[in-house]
Structure 1
Amino acid sequence: MKVILLQDVKSLGKKGDTVNVNDGYARNFILPKKLGVEATTKNMNDLKLQKAHEEKQAQEIYDEAVLLKAQIEKAQIKLSVKTGEGGKTFGSVSSKEIAQAAKEQIGLDIDKKKMQLPNPIKTVGTHEVPIKLHPKVTAELKVIVEEA
């Protein structure tokens, strides 16, 4: 019996796969537990439509991320930090402060968890902060740290 899986089933397949299983296994395990449905023409068409819809949504999310990347890479953020001798800063600039400054200065609400800042910024100057907007899209935000 051919079955379309509605959930991942260990040692059988992933969600959306069409697999061939024994009739008893399908009747007694997969169908009662709603792990899958019989692969009729109607169900196959529903699966195709659902996959097309998911692909369309994923493409829309990707397109939004590309547009946001363009906005972020045009912008600059300026932060003032107290400094001592030799341009050393007292404290550091963290991703939380950068996210707050981005909201105030350019009006973009950027999640601080998406900023891939390896270490807090501890020097005066211009820094590029990578922001992961999508698995395929990473933007570079220019952050200018000045003496207060």
Structure 2
Amino acid sequence: MASLSCASTLPWTPASYPRPSAGRCLTASRRAPSLVIVAQGKVKKYRQVILTDDIEEVGKKGDTLKVRAGFYRNFLLPKGKATLLTPEVLKEMQLEQERIEAEKKRVKEDAQQLARVFETIGAFKLPRKGGKGKQIFGRQVLSWTIHYLFSLVLGYLLQLTHLHLSFQTPLCTHCNL
């Protein structure tokens, strides 16, 4: 086999580019490395994720799902709607769930205590003037009025966001005529 000449080891060059002399010929061992592709194993088709938001027809916040890798990569990850299931994320989600459960338990106990107080006190009467036919016009019975009355009776302030008005009897029966 014939020895490789300098011209056969170099890539094509334009005529204006000077050729190296015979002593400075680049060989295959001195060239820049070519592109090397290394297989990393089989690609995972599915990913275990935890949803960070409610997604219609997929799941609710905190659900653990097995989804396709493309769905996670192209939809869930860019929109920030899910994170990969790792031990750290799983532990964080469990702590968050315990905190939420403790808060629900505290709110339920407060509501039960408030219900016991209302049972012992009885009905509240809030005198307001009514018109013809025992009708109350305008906004004479406001939530802040009832809130203030409850605060006076109970001795401590209620959170106004938890006050929902519902009457067992019509308001006109409570009117002063």
Where on the TM-score scale, by shorter chain, does this alignment land: which range? Answer: 0.5 to 0.7
Residue number in structure 2 paired with 1:99: 146
Would the alpha carbon gap of residues 104 and 2 (structure 1) be closer, same or farther in structure 2, given more than 3 Å must change?
closer
* Aligned counterparts of 2:60 and 2:136: Cα–Cα separation in 1: 46
Residue number in structure 2 paired with 1:40: 86
Matching residue's letter, 2:54:
D
User: Deviations for 1:34-71, whole angstroms, at most 9, x for unmatched residues?
Assistant: 10100111111111111111011111111111111112
Would the alpha carbon gap of residues 19 and 45 (structure 1) be closer, same or farther in structure 2, given more than 3 Å must change?
same
Structure 1: stretches of 5+ with no match in the other structure: 125-144
Paired residues of 2:51 and 2:81 also in contact (CA < 8 A): yes
Paired residues of 2:129 and 2:136 also in contact (CA < 8 A): no
Higher-strand-fraction structure: 1
Partner of residue 65 from structure 1, selected from 111, 116, 126: 111
After TM superposition, the structure 1 = structure 2 runs for residues 102-117 of structure 1, keeping only pairs within 5 Å, are: 102-103=149-150, 106=153, 107=155, 109=158, 114-117=164-167
Paired residues of 1:6 and 1:37 also in contact (CA < 8 A): yes
Match of 1:122, SS state, is: helix
Match of 1:53, SS state, is: helix
1:19 maps to 2:65: yes
* Aligned counterparts of 1:73 and 1:35: Cα–Cα separation in 2: 45
With normalisation by structure 2, the TM-score equals: 0.55
Matching residue's letter, 2:105:
Q
Residue number in structure 1 paired with 2:124: 77
Paired residues of 2:50 and 2:63 also in contact (CA < 8 A): yes
Range that drifts further, 28-37 or 108-117 = 108-117
* Aligned counterparts of 1:6 and 1:43: Cα–Cα separation in 2: 11
Structure 2: stretches of 5+ with no match in the other structure: 1-46
Deviation, structure 1 residue 80: 4.4
Paired residues of 1:91 and 1:122 also in contact (CA < 8 A): yes
Matching residue's letter, 1:35:
K
Q: How many residues align?
A: 123
* Aligned counterparts of 2:65 and 2:106: Cα–Cα separation in 1: 30
Deviation, structure 1 residue 104: 7.3
With normalisation by structure 1, the TM-score equals: 0.64
